[in-house]
Chains A and B, each alone.
Chain A
Amino acid sequence: MEMARRFLILLQRELAAFFLSPMAYFVLAMVMGLNGVAFRFATALMDGRIQPHSLVSLTFNSFWFRMIFFFLFPLLTMRLFAEERKMGTFETLMTAPVRVSEVVLSKYLACLIFYCALWVPGLGNFLLFRMVTGSSTAFPDGALLASALLLLLLGAFNIALGTLASALSRNQIVAAVAGGTLVLMHFFLGFLAGFAKVSASVLERVTYFSSLDHINLFAQGLIDSRPVIYYLSATAFLLILTHQAIEHRRGGI
C-alpha cells in the first residue's frame, strides 16, 4: 500500500516533468509533423494507382517514419537520470526512502506513457482518413492494431535503451548521443545484414533482431510472437542493467 502510493507519487512527478516542459510540446509537434508527412506521402503513393501494400504498410515503411525514430528516443530519454545528476536533485531523490527500482520504473513508465501519447495523433490520421473517405479498403483494421502494438513494443525497448544511457552519464548530450547510437545500431541491423557478406544462417539470426523486418511484418497485420517476446525480455534486461548501474554508483562517489 505504502509502496504503491510512493510509486504513484513518483510517477506523477515524472509525468509532470514531461508534460510541463516546453521540450515535450516541441517533440510532440515534430512527431505530428513527420507523421503527417509520412501519411501524406503514403496516400499520394496510393492515389490513382494499384498498390500491393496497405496505407498502414506504406506509412510505417516510409523514410519519414524512420526519421521520427532517429531523434525521438534520445530526446525523450536523455534527461531522465542525467538531468537529475547534473542538477544534484538525484541526491535528494535517492536519500528519500525510495527504492532504486521504484525510481527506475517510475521514470521509465512516465517516458513510455508520454511516448504513447505522442502516437495518438499519428494513429488518428488513419481513423480520420477512413471517416473522410468512407473507404475501408485502404487498410485492414488488423494492420493498424498490429502496428500500434509494435509501436508500443519498439517504444518499450528503445526507451529502456535510452534510460540505461541516461543512467550512465551526468551529461545529457553524452546520454543522448550514446542512447541514439545504440538505438540506431539496433534499428539498422536489418540494413547491415544486407550490405555485409554474411551466410544465410547469420542473416536469419540478425533478422530476428531487426526492427525493420518487424515493422514490415506487423504493418501487414501479422502478429509474430517472437518479436513480442524479444522486445519484452530485452526491455526487462535493460531495466535491470539500469538498476544495477545506479546501485553501482552508490558504491562509487
Chain B
Amino acid sequence: MVPLSQARAHALPSQRSRMIHVQGLTKTYRGRAVVDGISFEAGRGEIVGFLGPNGAGKSTTMRILSGFLLPTAGKVEIAGHDVVEQSLAARRHVGYMPEDVPLYPEMRVEEYLRYRAGIKGVARDRLTAQVEATMERCGVAQVRRKLIGTLSKGYRQRIGLADALVHDPSILILDEPTNGLDPNQIRSVREIIRSLAGQHTVLLSTHILAEVEAVCERVIILDGGQIRATGDPATLARRLERGSRVTLEARGATEAVLRKIQGVTKITSDALADDWTRFHLDVQGTEDPRETIFRTASREQWTLRHLSMEPATLEEIFAGLTAPQPQ
C-alpha cells in the first residue's frame, strides 16, 4: 500500500477557473474536530466526489460550503466569495441538496420549485421558463400538480435535485444524492448529474465506491475529518485494490497446488470433519479467480462443495488507508 495521505493532488487543469477553494477548513464540535484542517479545490465544470465512511466529515464540510454552518477555522471561497464574510453572495452561486432531501410535504411540486426559485432570486420574467426547464431536466414535470408528501423516494430525490438546480447555480453540492434509491432511480439520478458536467461544478458525497467511479472526474477520500487521498477514480481504485477473498471447501485439495494459482497471496486452512478442508485465499487483482480454482479442482480431481468470493469492502479499504504503513 502506498501512503496516500501525502499524495494530495492539488494539480488542477490550469484552464479551469477555481470555483471552490477550501484552505485549512476545521470544524470542531464540543472540542472534537469533525473536520480537521482540510484543503482542496474544484475547478469550473468539474465533478468531484467526496468518498468516506459515515462520520468522516463529508456532510459537515458540505454544510459549511453551502453556508448552513460556520467554520471554526480556515477559509472557504465559493466562486470567489468568502462563505463567512460574503455569505449571501456565496450562497447565490450554490445549489445545495442536503442528505435525506428535506421538502415541504404540504406543497405541490411546481409550487415548491417556484417558491424556491423566487427566494433564490430568479428574475420574475424568467421564473416560469426556468422552473419549467428544470422540471423537464429532472423528470418531475409529470407530477407537477402532486403534493410532495404523496410522492415516492425517487421523485423526492429528483425534486431535491431540481431545487438545487432551479436558479442555475455554477456550483452544485449534493450530499448523498442516490442514497436510498433503487438501481433504476440511481441510474437516472447519475445521468442527470453527468449531464451537468462542463457548465456546473459538482461536489457530491457518497460512501459507494462504484458511484464515484461512475460519475466523478476526481475523488477526495475523507476519513476522520481528514483528507486521506485525492486523485482520479481509476488510479485511486487501482491503488486501493486490495483484491478479494475466496473461500472454498474441498476434499483432497492441498495448499501447495492452490498457491500456484495466479494472484493468490495468502492461504489459511481449517480442517473440517470427514476429511473436508476449508481454505481462505487472499487474491490480488480485479479478475475473478473462481473459474481457475474450479478448473484446478476438476483437474486435480478434488471434491468441491463450496466456492465463494467476497470483494474487499469499503471498510477494508479505509482500514488499509488509515492503518500504519509497513516499511
Whether chain B is bound by chain A comes out as: yes
Chain A interface (Cβ within 8 Å of chain B)? 2, 5-6, 9-10, 13, 16-17, 20-21, 87-92, 94-99, 250-253
Interfacial chain A residues near B89, Cβ < 8 Å: 97
B88 touches A92 (CB 8 A): no
CA of A16 to CA of B94 in the docked complex: distance in angstroms? 26
Question: Smallest distance from the beta carbon of A58 to chain B beta carbons, Å?
Answer: 40
Task: Give 28 A-B contacts (CB < 8 Å), ordered by A residue.
Answer: A6-B121, A9-B115, A9-B119, A13-B115, A16-B107, A20-B106, A21-B106, A88-B102, A89-B103, A89-B104, A91-B63, A91-B96, A91-B102, A92-B116, A92-B163, A94-B68, A95-B66, A95-B98, A96-B91, A97-B88, A97-B91, A97-B119, A97-B121, A99-B88, A250-B68, A251-B70, A253-B34, A253-B69
For A99, A252, A253, which residue has the most chain B Cβ atoms within 10 angstroms? A253
Excluding A9-B118, A92-B163, A251-B69, 14 further A-B contacts by CB distance (< 8 Å) are: A5-B124, A87-B102, A88-B98, A89-B102, A91-B96, A94-B68, A95-B67, A95-B68, A95-B91, A96-B116, A96-B120, A97-B91, A250-B68, A253-B27
Could you say which of A2, A5, A96 has the most chain B C-beta atoms within 10 Å of its C-beta? A96
B interface list, Cβ under 8 A from A: 27, 29, 34, 60, 63, 66-70, 88-89, 91-92, 94, 96, 98, 100, 102-104, 106-107, 115-116, 118-121, 124, 163
- A-B pairs with lowest CB-CB distance, top 9: A88-B102, A9-B118, A97-B91, A95-B66, A89-B102, A95-B96, A97-B92, A253-B29, A91-B98
What distance in Å separates the Cβ of A206 from its nearest Cβ neighbour in chain B? 40
Residues in chain A near residue B102, CB distance under 8 A: 87-92
Asked whether A250 lies within 8 Å of B121 as measured between CB atoms, the reply is no
Tell me which residues across on chain B come within 8 A of A90, comparing CB atoms.
102
Partner of A250, one of B29, B69, B94, B118: B69
Task: Report the separation of the CA atoms of residues A99 and B87 in the bound assembly, to the nearest whole angstrom.
Answer: 9
Question: Closest chain A residue to B115 by CB distance?
Answer: A13
**How far, in Å, is A83 (CB) from chain B's closest CB?**
10
List residues of chain B with CB within 8 A of the CB of A96. Answer: 91, 116, 119-120
Rounded to whole Å, the gap between the CB of A247 and the closest CB of chain B is: 9
Q: Which residue from A9, A13, A17, A253 sits with its C-beta under 8 Å from B60?
A: A253
